[in-house]
Amino acid sequence: MSGPSVPVARLHSRKAAWLARLLVLAFGLALAFALVEIAGRLVLEFDPPPRWAQDFNSRVGYELLPHEEYTYASKNGEFQTVVRLNSRGLHDVEHTLAKPEGVFRILILSDSYGYAREVPLEVNFARQLEQRLNGAAPPGTTFEVINAGYFGLGTTQEYLYYTTEGRRYHPNLVLLGFYVGNDVVDNDAPLIEAWNQIDRVDFPYFSLDGTLHQPGMAATRRVLSWLRQNSYTIHVLSNALTGSGTPSRVEVGDPNGITTQALRVPMGVYLPPDGTWRDAWTVTDHALAVLKAAVEGDGARLEVFVIPDRRQLYDADWNATLAKLPDLNPAELDRERPTRTVMDLLDARRIPALDLLGPFRAADERLYFEIDGHFNPAGHALTAQLLAEWLHQSGLVPATG
């Protein structure tokens, strides 16, 4: 039998040549990718960001992206600040994961009251607390306060942030800021659905039996998100091609932006608890318990400071809310109920807690922005002062003799 014809031989030769070119191209692309990755990680010091808050994440819920910068402004002129996130996606100064010798580290877990986009970074109570503690530090001790506050988190997400990222800082003390206005809502799936008027909760949450649910996102999105978070090359290309990341300016404070339903749900914290609210407090209690166990398992201590709702402090704020919800019976509402409930839970769990309600009520000046509702500079200053005094008086931090 004769050998292959000349045209067939040429066809095989061309296929081999094309295959060789493709292999060379693939090798070149792989080499270029590797060189860019090496340059990004070694020269530009790229470190994979923590896997929690801008995209949904199957473990924690959200992830903040490192080095984001944008202007955050109130539409009514209450504030305008430039928000800059650090290399770990925190609204804070830089902190190394390794704890230096002689450093006493405090990690703050909180929601938007800790994230504090409304004020300059140096005004945040975490930064002021660090300054106050170092002003009375014993010889050989330096205090470092790491602010892991982020808007929208409840106790469950704060627990998950601690177990996936926060413990890597090796804190000596973990301070949890519990906001009575909506943290219990953020912890409970039925209340989240009612508050946001949605049919499915994407946030991680505990069910009543203590089961942790982490619905996360679709598998394809999860893979793409993982690549963007863990590959310098994909991270840069994704941001360039999709324009992802935080917009350059964010304006808040639209008085018509909050629906009556969204206002009504958190007001339930002031009413005698029905079955839904009893379940929500049970879930919250469980989240506090597992956070305490995780922190103490790492050799640290968990303490809580309880942040009041402005409606507890100011009659004008309270009455303005009731005017929008005329069907609520004022006789059934108890302005002390949310603080009393969480303090009872903490006492039963033997978690030391600082109740800010009394000192805030005694303050001579307003501590919250009137429209936005978060701490103003006076609120941050008083919070830092009260935390520093409490930590020293309770013997929770090293102090000068």
What does the pLDDT look like over 343-358, one tens digit per residue?
999 999 999 999 999 9
Same domain, 128 and 9: no
User: Residue 351 has which token pair?
Assistant: 């978690």
Give the burial class of 303: count Cβ atoms within 10 A of its Cβ; 0-12 exposed, 13-18 middle, 19 or more buried. Answer: buried
Same domain, 116 and 39: no
Report the phi/psi class of residue 210: left, alpha or beta, with left for phi > 0 and alpha for psi in -120 to 50.
left
pLDDT of res. 21: 81
Same domain, 142 and 266: yes
Domain span at residue 332 reads 102-214+255-393
Looking at residue 368, what DSSP letter applies?
A: B
Is residue 53 a part of any domain in this protein? no
Same domain, 271 and 167: yes
Range in 1-5, 43-47, 68-72, 337-341 the model is least confident about: 1-5
What's the structural domain count of the chain?
A: 2
Q: For 86-143, give the DSSP string.
A: -TTS-SS----SSPPTTEEEEEEE-SHHHH-TTS-GGGSHHHHHHHHHHHTPPTT-EE
- The reply to whether the predicted model has a pTM over 0.85 is no
Same domain, 24 and 150: no
Give the burial class of 358: count Cβ atoms within 10 A of its Cβ; 0-12 exposed, 13-18 middle, 19 or more buried. Answer: exposed
Is residue 12 a part of any domain in this protein? yes
Same domain, 8 and 136: no
Same domain, 30 and 108: no
Is residue 237 a part of any domain in this protein? no
Given a cut of 50, whether residue 131 has pLDDT beyond it is yes
pLDDT band at 219 (very low <50, low <70, confident <90, very high): low
Range in 134-148, 175-189, 216-230 the model is least confident about: 216-230
SS3 205: strand
Percent of the chain with pLDDT over 90: 63
Is residue 31 a part of any domain in this protein? yes
Is residue 91 a part of any domain in this protein? no
| Residue 387 neighbours by CB distance under 10 Å | 26
Is residue 359 a part of any domain in this protein? yes
Q: For residues 21 and 12, which has the higher predicted lDDT (pLDDT)? A: 21
Same domain, 166 and 311: yes
Same domain, 282 and 361: yes
Percent of the chain with pLDDT over 70: 81
Rounded to whole angstroms, the Cα distance separating 107 from 90 reads 12
